[in-house]
Structure 1
Amino acid sequence: MNGIARYDHVAPWGSVVWNEVRYGRRSPVLLVFGLTAVSRTVGQGTFHCPRCGGDRAFRRRAGRRCFSIFFVPLVPLWRLREDVECRTCRGRFPVAALRTPTARQLAEALAAGMRAAAALVLRAGDPADPAARARAVAIVTGYGEPGYDEAAVNADLAERRTFLEREVVRAGTQLAVEAKEWFLAQAVRIGLADGPLGEGERRELHGIADLLGMSPAYALGVIVTTEGASR
């Protein structure tokens, strides 16, 4: 079968207009080709959407560039970077968007951090003191742990120090400067529940401030101010 083909230009979208094609007939032919992105879902969950400004469902998408004819992908070429698609606004974002904690994750991290800080302060003083334990329960409950009770206090006191410190650090990464100040002040109030701060409690509070990312001078100011307000 003899064929002659000639084209005058390539359209911006990849279409080639053929002016002379003879395969046993005389008629113009439009051949449409180009590159097409083909995506598939590789994961899903909930994330903080930068565009919506709140927690939304997402799809994690992986794609590949393909050579297509008449918009039909035929030949797979190179892989594309994965991205995250919001199921609400349909916006697409880099996978790094998943690093931003959701509101629920943030609340859980703060509650866990305060539990850890309370345990550290109690261990530095008298962990059996009823007033200090009651203050710890009240403060942790206020941070979003409604089921926190005496049994939970005992469980936290039995945790490894490295674990407790890690939880405080994790909470600190989510807090603004003012929120860190309030967090430390709450830990100070736990220490003050059984009387003036002892040297061990004071050292522990400075250690908690350091884990939160506060300077020694700033921590001292918060501790002294909270002590003065309790008198």
Structure 2
Amino acid sequence: MSTAWSTVGDGDFFCPGCGGDRNYRRRTGRRRLTVLGVPLLPRGYAGPVVECAACRHHFSTDALDHPTSARLSAMLRDAVHTVALAVLTAGGTSSRTVRVTAVAAVRAAGFDDCTEDQLTTLIDALAADTGRLPGAYEGVDEPCGAALAIELHEALGPLAPHLAPGGRESILLQGARIALADGPYSPAEREVLTTVGGALLIRPEDTVRLLETARTPS
């Protein structure tokens, strides 16, 4: 039995065999019964499969569901940025300690040129967009309303399945440290952080534990 493969697409993916970002070819094949090297009777179709351009191994197309390392880094960076904005929206930006803590978290995630002014300006701009950050504009009292919850789930939901538990907890703890920079959690900050925990697929009891752990001086 032999298979004649045809390429129907290509791109970049995280190769499970190589353990890194590689080019791939999406391929389909036609099986034929081969006798003495001569293909004779057709035996149906094979694939589609994903073939790594480096190791040449074939994988299920499910391999394309895993983000590349570059994409994963960008998703992580955006997640930390979104959490920082959500916490600042809930707790306010009047405390310089809070702003400095938020900037440090965002810079560590990959936004190297982030400044206090950039964060506060962005929050002001989002506050003017009544479809983005509820609680930050007239007529809405709850800082973590439906729209903000959607923002958090959109940023964190696609990322969470690809992170180890420690990675998901780290994002929550970064948000907690921003909230605690000027004192105990406000009800609004705790509500936002609880939403963050849920979006990160952290169990409610573990979210409570982690928020209490963040309050304990190291």
2:98 to 132, 147, 156: 132
Kindly tell me: are residues 70 and 113 of structure 1, through their superposed partners in 2, closer, same or farther at Cα, counting changes over 3 Å?
Answer: same
In structure 1, what is the equivalent of residue 65 of structure 2?
99
Report the CA distance between 1:139 and its aligned residue.
Answer: 0.2
Larger relative strand fraction: 1
Tell me if 1:51 matches 2:17.
yes
What is the identity, as a one-letter code, of the residue corresponding to 2:176? Answer: V
Aligned equivalents of 1:105 and 1:210: distance in 2?
Answer: 22
Alignment size in residue pairs: 196
1:214 aligns with 2:202: yes
Q: Separation in 2 of the partners of 1:76 and 1:156? A: 63
Task: Judge conservation of contact 2:22–2:53 (CA < 8 Å) in 1.
Answer: yes
How is 1:3-152 mapped onto 2 (pairs within 5 angstroms)? 36-65=2-31, 78-149=44-115, 150-151=117-118
What's the TM-score, normalizing by structure 1? 0.73
Structure with the higher helix share, 1 or 2: 2
Q: Residue 84 of structure 1 aligns to which amino acid in structure 2?
A: V
Structure 1: which 5+ runs fail to align?
A: 1-34
TM-score of the superposed pair, with normalisation by structure 2: 0.77
Gaps of 5+ in 2: 127-131, 134-147
* Structure 1 residue 69: Cα displacement: 9.1
**Contact 2:6/2:27 (CA < 8 Å) preserved in 1?**
yes
Rg (Cα) greater in structure? 1
Q: Distance in 1 between matches of 2:121 and 2:153?
A: 17
1:151 counterpart letter in structure 2: Q
Give identity over the alignment, percent. 33
Higher relative contact order (CA 8 A, sep 6+): 2
> CA–CA distance in 1 between the matches of 2:41 and 2:199?
53
Using the TM superposition, give the Cα deviation of residue 142 of structure 1 relative to its aligned residue in structure 2, in angstroms. Answer: 0.7
